[in-house]
A and B are shown apart, each in its own frame.
Chain A
């Protein structure tokens, strides 16, 4: 008989880590149906442990928990701290209002030997608007154990700080690959852009002669602008000739042969991308003819001012990019 009882007690003890079910006494006025407290194992806790308690509260329907009566996280004692309070409304079903109250405690008690401690009951208030009913989440007791022996056997060993846990390496492979991929993408993108725009190292790209020419025109006109400031006839500056030559070379390269003024109709038929600039290009060729073969730089510059060359070169470059 004694054995049986003992066995039974052991069985119950085995169940305890799952839950301690404490049925409260029948509530006054039966507005409270039940309070069930679920707790962790009641032994083997050491200093610094957190204890998560959970209480299922079932009330008669019109009654609700008064939120003002919930405990606030605070120090309850010199060794016990309530760190978190969380109330979940389980809704009303079959005339019963259900709540789950989760209470998280942390114990800082430093026992010299296993010692039973108690977490006090938590008083709550339920109300249906007019009446108030006191509810109590029952207290819970548990055993705390010391972390170390009282008297150290080996000198200093127990008290020596254990080495820190080596920090776990953060997984960087993915990030590194991502970074590499992004860099590769940037380089490829820049390369594409440079290819499209005819920048270095594609500045001598054979199918972008006008990009090259636009740069040369700008450079030629800029270099001739300085000496021309003092010169009397800026139109005869060598820069003007150089700029025109650069454009002619670009036309030649685009057509794959020498392009003369008489070839322009064929040129525009073969390269419709430049059709928008046709009138200007004709004017350019006429001016260039006057400059190179008519030896009339003044008239030539009046027919096509060097300042317009840059703008035309840009438009040709744009046409080349759009139509190539």
Chain B
């Protein structure tokens, strides 16, 4: 009983911090409330996030603001076509004495304290780098200097430019599946926000702007514990479990649930995907969302709020439809939520 009360107070205490965290980021990133909310959910679900969007909509600013607000050590690296895994792990240079030296690279430099690792333009890096990243995300460890480095608190943010396709490497499905969410960053919503972003000189200097964010609102060392308490404290009823399974079933076989997308042959549209890991991520994110809304139970709204970001990149569609997948999968998910009855 006492423990339960303690859990409750921890949860409500951290909920206030989470909302403050959102507010801090909202100060410097305008018109992206939904993205901020999703990234907060990902942070408290301890999941990695892949951001996708146009150039210059504020992806990097957003991630830098988040890293600052989360606190802890922050590292970033730019993806280029000649980037090799060793470039992440090792830093080779000439010492002051003129001898070549090898020091820990960006990934290892901060040691175990690394809390946010930001990979810019991830699709420009080669598959070798992707596989290193895969291990970092899946196991939170890398091997270097003949030993294993562990990063218990690391959270990987990556971003990807979706316009350019030349000289890029598509992420392997296994790597994409490791991302909790794939978030589309669109143009800032609202005319007022756009006007301010363009004309207010405050937004012109990103470095100065970011100093307005209060650093270390969240404690990266404690996040892991809080995330576990959230997962234990928010429960799912049998009715909701049945609903999740029904959603899953509908994703795998949309035509048998009467879901249809215009000009798409539903029988062959979905080729696979929606792995059990994906579904467990979905429930994990839904729990965090329920907690942020101040509830101790998951409701269908929570699932619907995180479903597109968590599930879209896990659904593999027929190659014929691959080029239009964003739009078509979006319609598929909307159709599933319209068709599958809840509870």
Secondary structure at the A interface, as helix, strand, loop or mixed, is helix
The 6 closest A-B pairs by CB, nearest first: A257-B338, A292-B343, A292-B239, A262-B301, A260-B301, A293-B237
A258 touching B343 by the CB < 8 A rule? Answer: no
**Cβ contacts under 8 Å, B340 to chain A:** 258
Partner of B237, one of A249, A257, A294: A294
**Cβ contacts under 8 Å, B237 to chain A:** 292-295
**Given contacts A248-B343, A261-B299, A293-B299, could you give 18 more A-B pairs where the C-beta distance is less than 8 Å?**
A248-B341, A249-B341, A258-B300, A258-B304, A258-B338, A260-B299, A260-B300, A260-B301, A262-B301, A263-B301, A289-B297, A292-B240, A293-B239, A293-B343, A294-B297, A295-B237, A295-B238, A295-B297
B residues with a Cβ closer than 8 A to A are 236-240, 297-301, 304, 334, 337-338, 340-343
**Cβ contacts under 8 Å, B297 to chain A:** 289, 293-295
Docked CA distance A274–B325 (Å) = 38
Q: How many residues of chain A are within 8 Å of chain B by beta carbon?
A: 17
Partner of A289, one of B299, B338, B341: B299
Partner of A260, one of B236, B238, B304, B334: B304
**Cβ contacts under 8 Å, A262 to chain B:** 301
Docked CA distance A140–B244 (Å) = 113
**Cβ contacts under 8 Å, A260 to chain B:** 299-301, 304, 342
A residues with a Cβ closer than 8 A to B are 245, 248-249, 252, 256-258, 260-263, 288-289, 292-295
A239 smallest CB distance to B (angstroms)? 16
A245 touching B301 by the CB < 8 A rule? Answer: no
Docked CA distance A293–B287 (Å) = 12
**Cβ contacts under 8 Å, A288 to chain B:** 343
- Looking at A248, A289, A293, A295, the one whose CB has the most chain B CB atoms below 10 A away is A293
B343 touching A245 by the CB < 8 A rule? Answer: yes
Docked CA distance A293–B298 (Å) = 7
Docked CA distance A288–B343 (Å) = 9
**Cβ contacts under 8 Å, A257 to chain B:** 334, 337-338
**Cβ contacts under 8 Å, B342 to chain A:** 248, 258, 260
A32 smallest CB distance to B (angstroms)? 105
